[in-house]
Structure 1
């Protein structure tokens, strides 16, 4: 069996990133730089291989650090991951990431924390999860994070048995992993031991600033009852601060749940660079808090652009919540006192309220800060003319 696994891996690496030379960058068909890292693990006492995929901007940004996804079950997952992440990145809804794809040697041994005693599966298999986690945290992570520009936002991701391990890794090392993405995690293993462990972990955590994604397809017994019990337990014991998304895909088979779930998992994991109205809780101080969280995910400092604050103001004008709208427009001016659009936003809010004198004062400030070449200049002029006419009436 081990010979077959190693042969399959060798064929895959040759076709996926040929020519593959250990430690030297190669590229795949999607244009990403890939490194094959093969080394001897003292913890596992065997040779291990990972494929490290670097962002397309990596070489051009020598000072930039990137979040990292540790993807279980190897580099065969990279094409789908790239397609989904690129679609989100095109809308600035996800950062570029480094992906560390961990190839398997003995999957059942490594990915299940306990040996299985349930006759519905292979009895006696598993139980190597603790040692495998030690390999990742004491050997793999130090090697990867010393060699590549990774900041400390780490995601662990996997399906089926690997989903079980992802939940286990987060529960055992919450200080190392910020998120676990799991697809149809095989929590039935050993009479639901991992499901019970996950619930116990959440129950013992008063606060958890992490993200968990769980999903399932059309699974039946023995899987579904254990999974449903886990979800109920997680819901009843969700600690403060935890972001958690659970989804069920009716009619989707076990092996297709990853494909069905991936977009949603990344979409809910990563915070967009542009705060949307539906994500805003109405507290102006929360804008800075949101961007602090975005910055923490991405490893770089991001602040709310002027137009984002102004769009929030427009949203509340549409709701006729003028007090909140004016507060937001005023906040935008305080943050960006030299930007004419900020004053025009406030002028718009006052105009909609019927406060034409205040609106005129604001649009006059916008005009004072702009020139005829400014994109919004004619809009300011038109508003000024309209307001002057309204005040004469």
Structure 2
């Protein structure tokens, strides 16, 4: 009986160990950083994209995920970020979890003017923490805060104090400037005046549960929504109010995914927009239009967005399959044009070389076809991550392509 118990305990431990794995992110790194500004140590967890070590020119947005000590919501939101990143709806980011202890959760979220240290915490993030991240990782200038309850109120205040650093917030069960606090309301009005002349876009996404379900912030957040609706807001401020029929503690789980999806909606639908650009240009590949689209998204978010494997695979498939019979006898040439650009950026992509070789053979340019298929064979044999079974199948398919000439 004792052996069976130990066996099932090991199974449970193994299950939870595997449950901590992310699709697009590495295992989190836990560190403690002493702040000269706060005169205190800050417990942090840094989660990096798996692709980071293989990238040279990519700079990543930073998401500050507050309340790491609230384990269930924190972990759920980490997995939400992983889910949206893996499906390429949001860009991969460097995620920084910040722990708030019982002794500092109130003081660190109250403005200095009211006897707290919120301004010091903002300065710590902007200076000390950002300097450390900048030294160690390729970060962009896009910074997003995600908080709940007290840290949602802090997030709202931080955005208004440092709009030259923070681009936006997701604030679950926030309140009307800390339940009507005049200092924070005055600061918010200053913020609105300041950003009206800024070239940047700002995101103010907030939520609440309902009092009937146990969220006592409902009336305060309703008044925040009424306040925003009563004002003529700057055009570069995008805001959204979510109200959920849930308890206070559940609001992060139903707010963060919706908010991230909307903040990055143009990034998320970039391939669909590229499909439309391709369809509207029947006689040539609209490279300038593609680049203008990516430049526009980059400008809005404040980080460089470039065509990735998703772009090359999707647009090449659009031309190759030509389901709507738009491109006629140009479809294979357009596909080639995309794939030849793809191998400039991904020179180890044996799938691209195989596809290029297949198209050249279809076009009866056999010498070129064989060149690219042989290149694919070399790359496949070099890739140690391919299983023996897959390796045999890949090579078998390529040899079959060679025999079609």
Q: TM bucket by the smaller chain? A: 0.5 to 0.7
Distance (Å, rounded) in 2 between the aligned partners of 1:262 and 1:233: 23
Shift of 1:186: 3.3
Residue of structure 2 in register with 1:99 after alignment: 95
Shift of 1:302: 3.1
Residues 143 and 167, structure 2, Cα contact 8 Å, conserved in 1: yes
Residues 175 and 224, structure 2, Cα contact 8 Å, conserved in 1: no
Residue 23 of structure 2 is aligned to residue 29 of structure 1? no
Q: What do residues 94-147 of structure 1 show as CA deviations (whole Å, max 9, x unaligned)? A: 12111111112410001122677xxxxxxxxx6321122122222222122212
Residue 307 of structure 2 is aligned to residue 302 of structure 1? yes
Residue of structure 2 in register with 1:212 after alignment: 204
Residues 67 and 74, structure 2, Cα contact 8 Å, conserved in 1: no
Residue of structure 2 in register with 1:44 after alignment: 38
Residue of structure 2 in register with 1:268 after alignment: 262
Shift of 1:306: 8.1
- Closer, same or farther: CA 306–197 of 1 in aligned 2, 3 Å: same
Aligned to 1:96, the other structure's residue is in SS state: coil
Residue of structure 2 in register with 1:241 after alignment: 236
Q: What do residues 258-286 of structure 1 show as CA deviations (whole Å, max 9, x unaligned)? A: 01112101111222163446x9999x998
Distance (Å, rounded) in 1 between the aligned partners of 2:132 and 2:254: 33
Q: What do residues 305-324 of structure 1 show as CA deviations (whole Å, max 9, x unaligned)? A: 5898x8xxxxxxxxxxxxxx
Shift of 1:179: 1.5
Distance (Å, rounded) in 1 between the aligned partners of 2:211 and 2:292: 39
Q: 2:107 aligns with which of 84, 106, 109?
A: 109
- Closer, same or farther: CA 237–228 of 1 in aligned 2, 3 Å: farther
Distance (Å, rounded) in 2 between the aligned partners of 1:246 and 1:108: 24
Aligned to 2:218, the other structure's residue is in SS state: helix
Aligned to 2:32, the other structure's residue is in SS state: strand
Distance (Å, rounded) in 2 between the aligned partners of 1:289 and 1:62: 23
Shift of 1:244: 2.0
Aligned to 2:106, the other structure's residue is in SS state: helix
Q: Unpaired segments of 5 or more residues in structure 2? A: 1-12, 281-285, 337-355, 364-405
Tell me the TM-score normalised to structure 2 length. 0.62
- Written as runs of structure 1 = structure 2, the 5 A alignment for 1:341-380 is 341=319, 348=326, 363-366=328-331, 374=359
Corresponding pairs, count: 300
CA RMSD between the two structures:
4.1
Residues 65 and 149, structure 1, Cα contact 8 Å, conserved in 2: yes
- Written as runs of structure 1 = structure 2, the 5 A alignment for 1:308-347 is 341=319
- Closer, same or farther: CA 231–195 of 1 in aligned 2, 3 Å: farther
Aligned to 2:51, the other structure's residue is in SS state: coil
Residues 45 and 96, structure 2, Cα contact 8 Å, conserved in 1: yes
Flag the structure with higher helix content: 2
Residue of structure 2 in register with 1:387 after alignment: none
Residues 176 and 223, structure 2, Cα contact 8 Å, conserved in 1: no
Aligned to 1:38, the other structure's residue is in SS state: strand
Aligned to 2:82, the other structure's residue is in SS state: helix
Residue of structure 2 in register with 1:157 after alignment: 146
Residues 111 and 129, structure 1, Cα contact 8 Å, conserved in 2: yes
- Closer, same or farther: CA 190–243 of 1 in aligned 2, 3 Å: closer
- Closer, same or farther: CA 35–203 of 1 in aligned 2, 3 Å: same
Shift of 1:160: 0.7
